[in-house]
Structure 1
Amino acid sequence: MVSTDYINKIGLLLNDKTCPLKQRFRALFTLKNLATSGAIDHIIRCFSDKSALLKHELAYCLGQMKNPYAVPKLIALLEDESEEVIVRHEAAEALSAIGSINSINILKKYCENEIQELAETCQLAVKRLTYLMNGGKEPINVYGSIDPTPSLNENRVDVLRKIFLDDNKSIYERYEAMFALRDLNNENSIQVLCEGLKYGSVLFRHEVAFVLGQLQSPLSVPSLVEVIENNFENEIVRHESIEALGSIGTPACMEVIKRFLHDKDDLVRESCEVALDIYDYENSTEFQYANGLQVISSEQ
């Protein structure tokens, strides 16, 4: 059993604004793996930070931890109009990931919000929670993530492509097709996913980039680089594409990421810093990325 003292040391590191962002990310994922109420308290305390990237990752981790203890804070984030859109979106998605049925009415309030990313996230969350309320089973995937929708029960790439790229379909249906394409994980399905980086809303395109990061296929690199190099693309999509390149983790990917370490968008710039750290970990002898003890000892 992990001691309270250990959790507090990791929590202090996470909340140390003088510490490099990459080390605070490692502390965050250490706390995520612990999943105790004490760990959640430290994560919640960190929402006072100014980094939208860090705050959105805090919300993501709270959702993936699936602990209802975090629900009140996530609701407060969703309702806080002064928070960045990416943070409010992630809070709504986290409520869905936790399976917080009691938050469904609050999520419904934002389903027609003027901020499209927020509205679409809440639409997905309400449908997912309704699915669970009606006896739907929690989908399981090999990536260990809690997805906004289950995968569509279909393995024909041509059929999935029609749904995936159809703007007349609901975002829920398109997500179902997206995750089915991900689960197929072959050359044809990856090519279709890459097409999705040019279609649909900001939320949709950012999720496509996330999925490509999960697949870690070099086939997607040219498409992801094209997104990152497009200064007119939304920073949420560019940030997620940077993280996807970081997950693929080839030396060529890292050279691209280094070019954007001084980008005008904070999300992109900070994502580059974290991606390069993950690459360093992947090419080191470290046992695990979320190793709080090692991070603490390196600071001393």
Structure 2
Amino acid sequence: MVSASPEELAALESTLLNTNGSIPLAQRFRALFTLKAIKSNESIDIISKENRNEDPMVRHEAAEAMGAISATSAIPVLQKYLNDPERAVRETCEIALAKIEWDAANKEASTSSADAGYTSVDPAPASTSGLLRGAPAANSPSVPQLRTVLLDKSETLFARYRAMFALRNIGTDEAILALADGFDDDSALFKHEIAFVFGQMSAPASVPALLKVLKDESEHEMVRHEAAEALGGIATGDVLPHLREYASRAGAPRVVRESCVVALDMYEYENSSEFQYADGLAQAARENVATA
């Protein structure tokens, strides 16, 4: 767990809650991801502070961060936003609450994906049972079984997310194609999470599907945002021209342009010697020196 001093927390709060445009979106997200890694009641208090005019994408990321921290103190805030006017925010809160409930009932288990080669705390634990719930079966579910659950709208979002992360952990081309089929869903949140998973996998095989999403002007901004960041994380040479194009494309929505700027920032990180992308504490330390 990352620790932070009161001064560092104050600097992170100031960065995260800045909505006047003076702080780049990339820096605000770094602050949010750092607070997410701190996993303290103080970080939850900061994340839960919202502006009524805040972009739904930021409210979504904040709710997801509270789910990752998985502290019961976040429950009242998440329940409040189950009635948010933005569907993606409501669904994020639904999944975050389900994860907190799952964690409380499965204290011996972990939603960490470290055993699959990932360091993230997932919004839902990867499915490991034949029925995708309950005790593990002798055989893990196959890609076709997981794909069926992934695309089944009668399942809860939590169950579908579990299938999603299981497919990510499998990581084959077949699993990538199954995940890409999820881009036909009508939930922006669901499609956004698939794009995020592709970014985690850093699989070049996912680039065509991600580029299609980025270029789709009818697609929800949240999905295009995550597709851009995933492409930045994959960081192959063929994605760079597309990111540069949409970072300055006049007709693209602001959030898409800014996301491509974030993606280019990530691209530079992936091709540099920087230790950690979410270096909000380092930024906070620099701000403390500047204001001392």
* Same-fold call, TM cutoff 0.5: yes
- Equivalent residue letter for 1:67: S
Q: State the 1:140 CA deviation.
A: 2.1
Q: Which residue of 1 aligns with 2:92?
A: 121
Q: How does 1:91-102 map to 2 (within 5 A)?
A: 91-102=62-73
Q: 1:100: Cα distance to partner?
A: 1.8
Tell me how far 1:235 sits from its aligned partner. Answer: 1.1
CA distance, structure 2, for counterparts of residue 240 and residue 233 of structure 1: 12
Cα distance in 2 for residues equivalent to 1:62 and 1:286: 19
List alignment gaps of at least 5 residues for structure 1: 1-31
Shift of 1:271: 1.9
- Tell whether 2:144 aligns with 1:174: no
Q: Secondary structure at the match of 1:160?
A: helix
**TM-score (norm: length of structure 2):** 0.81
| Equivalent pairs, count | 263
Is 2:56 aligned against 1:85?
yes
Check if 1:240 corresponds to 2:240.
no
- Counterparts of 1:237 and 1:95 in 2: how far apart (Å)? 20
> Which letter does structure 1 place at the counterpart of 2:19?
D
Q: State whether residues 89 and 117 of structure 1, in contact with CA within 8 Å, keep that contact through their aligned partners in structure 2.
A: yes
- Counterpart of 2:71, as a letter, is S
The equivalent of 2:31 in structure 1 is: 58
Fraction of identical pairs, as percent = 34
Matched, 1:144 2:116: no
Confirm or deny: 8 A CA contact 2:224 2:256 kept in the other structure. yes
Per the normalisation by structure 1, the TM-score is 0.79
Which residue number in structure 1 is paired with residue 260 of structure 2? 272
CA distance in 1, matches of 2:77, 2:273: 46
Aligned pair partner of 1:45 in 14, 20, 27: 14
* Corresponding residue number in structure 2 for 1:109: 80
RMSD after superposition: 2.5
Cα distance, 1:96 vs structure 2: 1.5
Structure 2: runs of 5+ lacking an equivalent: 129-139, 287-292
Bigger mean CA deviation after superposition, 244-253 or 51-60: 51-60
How many Å separate the matches in 1 of 2:79 and 2:243? Answer: 38
